[in-house]
Homo-oligomer: A and B are copies of this chain.
C-alpha cells in the first residue's frame, strides 16, 4: 500500500514516521506547499518521495490512501476530493469544521466503500484503552460524570479557537468510553485576542443523566490534563501529566440506604484500595496508522471511523453555537 501525507507542520512528520514503520505500507509520499518542510522531511526520512503538488497526492493512481494533516478548514475539501478519487482517507482531528461537512464525507466514503478514519490519537493510548476496558467490564458502574480539565499557557491557534483545538481530545475520549447518548450542550467562553476564544467551559448532558464537562484554557499558568470519571462502583482519575501511573482507579463510592419509616435516604461512604493498572505504552499514533492500514486491507471499520469523527464535531459545533448565544442549551 502507498500512502500520501499532506501537511508537514508539527504533527505531519510524526504521521510519516509511523506510516514508515507500519506493516503493509510500501511507500510514503510527503506533500507540503512549503519547500523547507519537504527538505526537512527528506533529510529526516530519506526513503520518502516529496512533492509540493497536492493534486498529485489526491489523484495519482499510485497512491492508495491519504492522510490529511493540514489546518482544520481544509480537511473537508481535501478529504472530499481524495475520496472522490477513490482514496482511503485518514483525517487529522477534528475531522471537519462542521457537522454538515462530516456527514458529507461519511456519505461519500460509504458510497464508494472507502475507509474514512479520523486521527483521534488519544483513543489509542494505553490509558484511554484501559479506561474503556474498565468501564466495559462494569468495574466502574453507572457513570455519574466525566469531568475534564485541559489547560496551559498557549499555544494559541490562529484558525480555530480553544474548543476545536483542545476540547476535541477530551470529547473524543468521553464519546469513546461512555456508551450513553449526549443530548444537549451548553458552553461559555471568552476571547481576549483576535476574537478567538481562549477559554471555554462546556457542559454536555446525556440521555441517562450522566453529565460531561470540559474546561479548556490557553491562558493558564500551569499545565493540567486531568479527567475525573465518577461511577456508582468506582472512580477514575486520569492525569496525563504524570510520567507513570497515569490512570488511578479508586474503590470509593456512596452507599445509600433507606430505612423503613424514614423518607430520606441515608448516605454513607465506602473507601477501599486504589490501584494504578499497568498501561501499554506503545506509541498511540503507530496504532492509529496500523488500524487505518488494517481496516483498508480487511475491509473492516476503523476504531475511530467517520461516525466517531462526526459525533465529536457535533458536540464542538453545538458548543461554539452555545457560546455565541450566551450559553443557550443546544439540543443535538
A213 lies within 8 A of B215 (CB): yes
Contact assessment for B147 and A327 in the assembled complex, using a CB-CB cutoff below 8 Å: no
Is A153 part of the contact surface with B, judged by Cβ < 8 Å? Answer: yes
- CB of A13 within 8 Å of the partner chain: no
**A168-192 interface bits toward B, Cβ cutoff 8 Å, 1 = contact, 0 = none:** 0000000000000000101011101
Majority-rule SS of A interface residues: strand
Is A150 in the interface zone, CB < 8 Å from B? Answer: no
Are A154 and B269 touching (Cβ within 8 A)?
A: yes
Q: Are A230 and B219 in contact (CB under 8 A)?
A: yes
Identify which of A201, A213, A269 gathers the most chain B CB atoms within 10 Å of its CB.
A201
User: Number of A residues contacting the other chain (C-beta, 8 Å)?
Assistant: 64
Residues of chain B within 8 A (CB-CB) of A203 are 188, 201, 327
Q: Is A137 an interface residue (CB 8 A)?
A: no
Q: Would B230 and A221 count as touching, CB distance under 8 A?
A: yes
Is A209's CB within 8 Å of the partner chain B? yes
Q: In the complex the two chains form, is B219's CB within 8 Å of A199's CB?
A: no
Q: Which of A153, A193, A194 has the most CB of B within 10 A?
A: A153
**When each residue 206-221 of chain A gets 1 if its CB lies under 8 Å from chain B and 0 otherwise, what string results?**
0001010101010111
A332 lies within 8 A of chain B by Cβ: no
| CB–CB B190/A158 < 8 A | no
Are B221 and A267 touching (Cβ within 8 A)? no
Tell me which of A53-61, A77-85, A272-280, A310-318 binds B.
A272-280
Query: Interface readout for A299-315 with B: 1 if CB under 8 Å, 0 if not?
Result: 00000000000000000
Q: Are B278 and A273 closer than 8 Å at their CB atoms?
A: yes
- Other CB < 8 Å A-B pairs besides A145-B217, A153-B269, A327-B327, 16 of them? A144-B219, A151-B228, A186-B186, A186-B188, A188-B203, A193-B254, A193-B256, A193-B265, A194-B264, A194-B265, A221-B230, A221-B235, A221-B248, A222-B228, A251-B278, A273-B278
Stretch in A113-121, A237-245, A282-290 touching the partner: A237-245
A261: B residues at CB distance < 8 A: none
A selection of 11 A-B contacts at a CB cut-off of 8 Å is: A144-B192, A153-B252, A153-B271, A186-B186, A188-B203, A193-B267, A199-B211, A219-B230, A221-B248, A272-B278, A275-B276
Contacts of A145 in B (CB 8 A): 190, 199, 217, 219
Check if A156 is an interface residue, CB within 8 A of chain B.
yes
Q: How far is the CB of A269 from chain B (nearest CB, A)?
A: 5
| Nearest Cβ on chain B to A217's Cβ, whole angstroms | 7
Instruction: Determine whether A326 belongs to the interface, using a CB cutoff of 8 Å to chain B.
Output: yes
Alpha-carbon distance A145/B217, docked complex (angstroms): 10
Nearest-neighbour CB distance to chain B for A48, whole angstroms, equals 12
Judging by beta carbons under 8 Å apart, are A273 and B272 in contact?
no
